[in-house]
Structure 1
Amino acid sequence: MLVAQQVLSVDLDKIKSITSDITSENYYPTLLSRFNNFDTTLTAKQMHLLYYGKYFQSFYEPSSLYEEREQMFELIKQKDLSSALIHGKLAFEADPLDLKTLFGLYLCHQHLLNLREAENYQFLYYALVGTILKTGSGKNSSEAFVIMNISDEYEIISSLGKEIRKHKNIDGETDCFKLKKGDDKVLNSIKKLYFNIAIPLMKVE
């Protein structure tokens, strides 16, 4: 049980208290049902509760190999989109808040021209990307983006249109990524990004 547990700007205790109240509209199973049904009226606060509140859910296993997700991406590479979609749906059932899974499902539906479904998964993906980006500036370890899965670091970097040049862990719970220079002058101002990985580390322990 966590006591007064806060990771940078993310107050896990407060999140647990809010999402454990069965009478509240922010009760975790209620929020998750809305998320799974692509409810676009979910607020930024509720997305925050969903993403970080999964710490207390049985499906949160950051040490998992995410075999269904990886099988989906392998089949996407082989251009077998229908089979990829089957594995993607299983991955979504296992952890609906995993960014890489959401992006894979978006790709499958987009290539299969299931445009409404693609739009739904794109919405969930970018809503969670925005949730993570609101936790800090990413400019240093004290303002690092707080993530729930290591793979989310790579999704954030990719969503910003950047590529990784070098990566290192600087203090046990902070990853620093040096980024490649690209063609976009605005994006080139982002040379490094910092991510806090304390939450997945705590869960694994």
Structure 2
Amino acid sequence: MEPVPVQQARARYAELIAAPRALLELEDPQDPRTALVPAASLVFALGAWESTCEELLRAAAVAVVGAARRPEDLPRAIRETLVEVIGEPGEPWEHVQRRLAGGWHRAAIRHLGRALEGRFRHWNTPSGEGVDRLAMQVAGMAPISPRWPEVDGHPGADVLADAIRRRGEAVHLARVTLGAADVAPVLDLLDGIVDVTATTVARRIAHLPPV
């Protein structure tokens, strides 16, 4: 059985993605009033994925930090936050670690929220590269995106990157060249991406003791 936080993230995604799917069904090529429907569906679908990914990686980070037995087990984002909060500008982590002595784990848990907020606040592109970098920083995880499903022989990360680009064009440039046939495969891909990402996080934290 998957850890509860992963189950909750999956359930939340299922709720969030339902609206973009229902919205996409409203497109009618004969009705110009629905011209923006596919783009709107894509925007909200990518928002659902971004929110779910953040929730999954937060769960991973909490589990990894809680289970850390050595300072070296702490993810990079946590170490950097401890240097920022407890150390001096530019001070090496090793110096801060010695200063913390046996209290490094308590300090890590105490500043976990601040570390995660700092990372997620500036994370607004849920691309494969962005997800892999964030997973490594906050939870010490290996790249996830290479495991994502393909779409017509194309890596899922590439298809997602194109969808993110087209979302940006729609939102920032009012450039809309999307139809339901363009968006529907992306929604299916997101289902697969969420499944792989949730499964990967679950395997990473399933054996760790609860915080």
TM-score bracket for the superposition, by shorter chain length: under 0.3
Who wins on radius of gyration, i.e. which is larger?
2
Q: Which has the higher contact order (CA 8 A, sep 6+)?
A: 2
TM-score (norm 2): 0.22
More helix by percentage: 2
More strand by percentage: 1
TM-score (norm 1): 0.22
